[in-house]
């Protein structure tokens, strides 16, 4: 059973601001569901009364983040390639790419899972886990990690749905997984008495729910996957890896930057660290729409690039920046008005309250510059330059974080660390702006005759100039 949306590139006409708004808001709802479930999950585990359990989940989450970065990179590749082919009118090639990424994701997921499982104690020890915490974290990861391939295919399905403009069904898949996790957590942890194992099993079932809820509509509604074959998967390895590998490296940069900030904040005591913890919970909830920009704008850029509508590619980037500005200003105003109740909710005093007030003021406005970076990354990934995203993100979270955080700490203490980090974001958002303008100014070649010609032409153009 299919619908009229099958194979249709829906972003080639209509209001770009409307497309950006709809895709960003629906994608962000799915992200908020994940953040909310993670928060509730930690509350349930904390209720067991064993600090080692919460610490184990923290170490396990860090390890799982790195493995999940591979899935994120593959999903970015799926979205970029499928959207580009749809825009060019090559619906069969779009289906082949969807299948290639799904198969490669499943194979890589199995390979990585086996590798990590056989070396789990080593990896967790590197993160600092030891004794009972190491044992608990190992058990927790051992239950979840074998389903890495499930998550890879699920995220590919959601990326394919977004590439077809079906953000609503992509969002629903995430929500179904979040609801399943939230409902099963208390049942398996407390009612059945499985404790930490119950939390892990709930996560596994949630992943299966996301797989079914994403792949089924991608196949039945959009025919987004072709019949798998060894030849098509082999042909897809090169274009998929050209986007996926830089995207994986891009995602890994984020926890590096966070670790630098936490290290600098820690020297100012537990109140400062507590303030950072509160901000870490507030940030993804308040600005999930900004975090969703990379995944939501990518299909719009990809379809118009594939169709050779380069003016709309440029306008999409500008629409994304304008949308970010409006949303950040509205959210920053709301946070400023609610700063006292928010601080009271967390019973914040001293340095903790100072940092929360700082976040609900100028730091909230600084999220605009992070949004510019996210929009730029989506443009790079869909215009044949995923390596630019890698450069920018690593630069942002190293050179754009460490020296500014150190200088800020010296000048203004704990608040200075966060202000320094924000200043680095301003600088690298300007770098992104220049790079995007450079890329889009060369999008004047005729529509390519084969699916990779446009990408190769751009790589050759900028490669000659040392980019």
Which structure tokens are listed for 425? 């974001």
- Residue 134 has phi, psi (to 5 degrees) of -60, -45
Among candidates 93, 91, 238, which has minimal Cα distance to 164?
Answer: 91
Helices (H) and strands (E) in the chain, counts: 19, 0
Among candidates 97, 198, 215, 200, which has minimal Cα distance to 150?
Answer: 215
Percent of the chain whose pLDDT exceeds 90:
53
Among candidates 292, 433, 437, which has minimal Cα distance to 300?
Answer: 292
DSSP 202-244: HHHHHHHHHHHHHHHHHHHTT---PPP-HHHHHHHHHHHHHHH
Three-state DSSP class for residue 307: coil
First to last CA, the chain: 47
Burial class (CB in 10 A: 0-12, 13-18, 19+), 257: buried
- pLDDT computed for residue 343 by the predictor: 87
Which structure tokens are listed for 402? 């460490």
* Whether residue 183 has pLDDT greater than 80: yes
Determine what percent of the chain falls in helix, strand and coil, rounding each to the nearest 5: 85, 0, 15
Average pLDDT over residues 246-275: 83
Name the packing angle between helices 16-46 and 196-220 (round to 10°): 160
HSE-up of 63 (CA within 13 Å, CB side)?
32
- pLDDT computed for residue 83 by the predictor: 93
* Whether residue 463 has pLDDT greater than 90: no
144 touches 188 (CB < 8 A)? no
Distance CA 77, CA 94 (A): 12
* Whether residue 415 has pLDDT greater than 80: yes
The predicted-structure confidence for 271-283, as pLDDT tens digits, reads as follows 887 788 778 778 8
The phi-psi region of residue 92 (left if phi > 0; otherwise alpha if psi is between -120 and 50; otherwise beta) is alpha
pLDDT-derived band at 458, boundaries 50, 70, 90: very low
- pLDDT computed for residue 31 by the predictor: 73
Higher confidence at residue 4 or residue 315?
315
Give the torsion sign (CA, 93, 94, 96, 101).
positive
The predicted-structure confidence for 241-255, as pLDDT tens digits, reads as follows 999 889 888 888 887
- pLDDT computed for residue 380 by the predictor: 93
Distance CA 255, CA 66 (A): 9
pLDDT-derived band at 370, boundaries 50, 70, 90: very high
Which structure tokens are listed for 245? 């590998």
Task: Write out 11-55 in H/E/C secondary structure.
Answer: CCCCCHHHHHHHHHHHHHHHHHHHHHHHHHHHHHHHCCCCHHHHH
The predicted-structure confidence for 51-105, as pLDDT tens digits, reads as follows 788 778 877 887 887 888 889 889 999 999 999 999 989 999 999 999 999 999 9
Token pair 């920009």: residue: 293
Range with the poorest average pLDDT among 16-25, 379-388, 445-454: 445-454
Average pLDDT over residues 115-126: 90
Burial class (CB in 10 A: 0-12, 13-18, 19+), 374: buried
Sequence-distant (6+) residues with CB within 8 A of 68 are 148, 151
455 touches 439 (CB < 8 A)? no
DSSP 86-102: HHTT-HHHHHHHHHHHH
74 touches 240 (CB < 8 A)? yes
DSSP 77-139: HHHHHHHHHHHTT-HHHHHHHHHHHHHHHHHHHHHHHHHHHHTHHHHHHHHT--HHHHHHHHH
The predicted-structure confidence for 143-179, as pLDDT tens digits, reads as follows 999 999 999 999 999 999 999 999 899 999 999 998 9
Which structure tokens are listed for 385? 């330059």
- pLDDT computed for residue 235 by the predictor: 82
Q: What is the largest CA-CA distance in the chain?
A: 64
Distance CA 8, CA 13 (A): 11
* Whether residue 26 has pLDDT greater than 90: no
């Amino acid at each position: 059973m299919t619908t009229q949306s099958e194979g249709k590139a829906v972003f080639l006409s209509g209001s770009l601001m409307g497309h950006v708004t709809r895709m960003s808001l629906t994608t962000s709802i799915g992200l908020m569901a994940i953040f909310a479930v993670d928060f509730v999950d930690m509350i349930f585990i904390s209720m067991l009364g064993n600090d080692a359990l919460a610490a184990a989940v923290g170490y396990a989450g860090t390890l799982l983040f790195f493995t999940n970065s591979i899935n994120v990179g593959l999903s970015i590749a799926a979205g970029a390639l499928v959207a580009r082919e749809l825009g060019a009118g090559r619906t069969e090639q779009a289906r082949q790419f969807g299948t290639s990424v799904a198969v490669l994701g499943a194979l890589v997921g199995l390979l990585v899972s086996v590798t990590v499982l056989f070396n789990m104690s080593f990896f967790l020890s590197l993160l600092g886990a030891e004794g009972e915490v190491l044992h608990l974290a190992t058990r927790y990861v051992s239950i979840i990690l074998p389903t890495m391939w499930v998550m890879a295919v699920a995220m590919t399905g959601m990326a394919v749905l977004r590439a077809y403009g079906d953000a609503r069904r992509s969002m629903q898949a995430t929500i179904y997984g979040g609801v399943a996790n939230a409902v099963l957590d208390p049942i398996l942890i407390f009612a059945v008495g499985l404790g930490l194992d119950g939390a892990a099993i709930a996560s596994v079932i949630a992943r299966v729910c996301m797989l079914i809820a994403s792949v089924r509509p991608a196949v039945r509604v959009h025919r987004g996957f072709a019949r798998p074959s060894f030849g098509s998967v082999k042909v897809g390895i090169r274009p998929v890896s050209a986007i996926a590998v830089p995207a994986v490296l891009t995602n890994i940069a984020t926890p590096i930057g966070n670790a630098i900030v936490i290290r600098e904040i820690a020297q100012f005591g537990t109140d400062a660290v507590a303030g950072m913890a509160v901000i870490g919970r507030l940030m993804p909830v308040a600005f999930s729409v900004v975090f969703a920009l990379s995944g939501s704008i990518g299909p719009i850029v990809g379809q118009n690039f594939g169709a050779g509508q380069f003016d709309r590619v440029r306008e999409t980037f500008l629409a994304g920046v304008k949308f970010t500005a409006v949303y950040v200003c509205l959210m920053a105003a709301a946070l400023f008005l609610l700063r006292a109740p928010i601080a009271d909710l967390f019973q914040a005093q001293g340095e903790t309250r100072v940092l929360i007030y700082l976040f609900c003021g100028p730091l909230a406005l600084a999220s605009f510059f992070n949004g510019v970076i996210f929009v730029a990354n989506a443009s790079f990934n869909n215009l044949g330059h995923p390596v630019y995203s890698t450069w920018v993100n690593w630069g942002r979270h190293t050179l754009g974080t460490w020296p500014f955080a150190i200088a800020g700490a010296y000048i203004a203490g704990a608040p200075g660390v966060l202000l320094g980090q924000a200043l680095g974001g301003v600088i690298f958002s300007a770098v992104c702006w220049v790079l995007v303008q450079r890329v889009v100014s060369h999008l004047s070649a005729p529509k390519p005759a084969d699916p990779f010609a446009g990408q190769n032409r751009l790589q050759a153009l900028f490669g000659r100039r040392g980019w």
